[in-house]
Amino acid sequence: YENAASAMKIKSYLQPLSVNEQFLFGDILFAAGVPAEAANLYSTAIDRSSDMATVSQYEMLASALLSAQKTDLASEAINKALKIKPTTRLYSLLGDVEYSRENYKEAFNAFSSAADINPDNGRLWLMAGYCAVELEKYGDAKLALERACMFSKQKQSATELLQQLSK
């Protein structure tokens, strides 16, 4: 990634990058572990494309901002994108943002909304279960965790938490 990032940086010195090139450069930087710089490029590219920005582009921006621990900006980008079209990924990202802030009610609502759109994602059910436990909504936690148990990657964690709840 270092060579690709260097090439894009040199190109940007020679001539302004197009919107697509800014997204590509952002992708390279994000993959290279520089999410804050990627977020800056994504944000500039979205601003340049104004009303043409896609939900996918906002998802990329929000992911980079979340990785850079800029939760306020990530939340702002997610909420803009949700007005365009609600997606599982956007609600999941919003859940991650709110969970990291310990806003468990908002995180629970976001993970639940994501699971309503895509009920075949065990992580969403598991995270909704974790949030419900934090909120002491044990009935909701049990329902979400039972759903999470249906997925091999989440089964062990969900089962262990269900066992703790039954004590």
pLDDT in tens, 89-138: 999 999 999 999 999 999 999 999 999 999 999 999 999 999 999 999 99
Neighbours of 87 (CB within 10 A): 18
pLDDT in tens, 8-62: 999 999 999 999 999 999 999 999 999 999 999 999 999 998 778 899 999 999 9
Cα atoms in the 13 Å half-sphere on the side-chain side of 151: 16
| Distance set, CA 43 to CA 36, 50, 104, 167 (Å) | 10, 10, 28, 48
CA–CA gap between residue 23 and residue 51 (Å, rounded): 16
